[in-house]
């Protein structure tokens, strides 16, 4: 089973979409499967993935420069990341090359570590159905929630809270 395991739906407002989280019930942790993937950062050339970001919550955003809705994600993500330095942020720019990913980051004024997922295999592994999708990982890199579509600061805050709760 992939990282997109079915789970509890936390009802939200943003255009009727929901923040999805995994749950096993009872006294079990709320988090779902552990996420493992890696790639090369489009800016630094370093190999990175959630495992390289230390034992802290990770906000993973999967997007692409050709996705109109993804541009709407850049500004709230930039504001949120700048006020949450204790949290790791990682982007996966899917179905395009590193040059397009770098241009997208530059246009949005973003300095988030970003992996170019040229063939879409990381997005497929993560069960991505819509761009952008933001996945919130616990400090053990388990899925605590996911948001499909552009996420505002409130959605990002709620997802990070779920990741911290584990």
Q: Could you read off the pLDDT of 86-140 as tens digits, one per residue? A: 999 999 999 999 999 999 999 989 999 999 999 999 999 999 999 999 999 999 9
Average pLDDT over residues 68-95: 95
User: Which is more confident, 144 or 21?
Assistant: 144
* 154 phi/psi in degrees, rounded to 5: -60, -45
Domain ranges of the chain: 8-165
Average pLDDT over residues 70-80: 94
At residue 33, the 3 state secondary structure works out as coil
d(CA 60, CA 137) in angstroms, rounded, equals 8
Q: For residue 77, give the nearest of 125, 120, 132, 14 by alpha carbon.
A: 132
Tokens describing residue 15 = 């255009």
- Going 130 to 81 to 144 to 141, the CA torsion angle's sign is positive
pLDDT of 24: 35
pLDDT above 50 for 28: no
User: Which CATH architecture does the domain made up of 8-165 adopt?
Assistant: 3-Layer(aba) Sandwich (3.40)
Q: Percentage of the chain surpassing pLDDT 70? A: 81
Question: Judging by DSSP bridges, how do beta strands 88-94 and 58-63 pair with one another?
Answer: parallel
């Amino acid at each position: 089973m992939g990282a997109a395991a079915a789970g509890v739906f936390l009802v939200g407002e943003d255009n009727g979409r929901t923040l999805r989280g995994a749950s096993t019930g009872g006294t079990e942790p709320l988090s779902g499967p552990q996420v493992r993937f890696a790639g090369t950062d489009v800016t630094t050339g370093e190999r990175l993935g959630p495992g390289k970001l230390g034992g802290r919550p990770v906000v993973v955003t999967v997007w692409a420069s050709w996705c109109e809705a993804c541009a709407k994600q850049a500004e709230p993500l930039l504001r949120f990341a700048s006020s949450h330095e204790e949290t790791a942020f990682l982007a996966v720019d899917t179905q395009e090359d590193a040059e397009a990913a770098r241009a997208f980051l530059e246009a949005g004024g973003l300095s988030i570590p970003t992996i170019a997922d040229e063939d879409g295999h990381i997005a497929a592994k993560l069960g991505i159905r819509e761009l952008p999708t933001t996945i919130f990982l616990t400090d053990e890199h388990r899925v605590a929630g996911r948001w499909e579509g552009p996420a505002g600061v409130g959605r990002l805050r709620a997802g990070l809270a779920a990741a911290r709760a584990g």
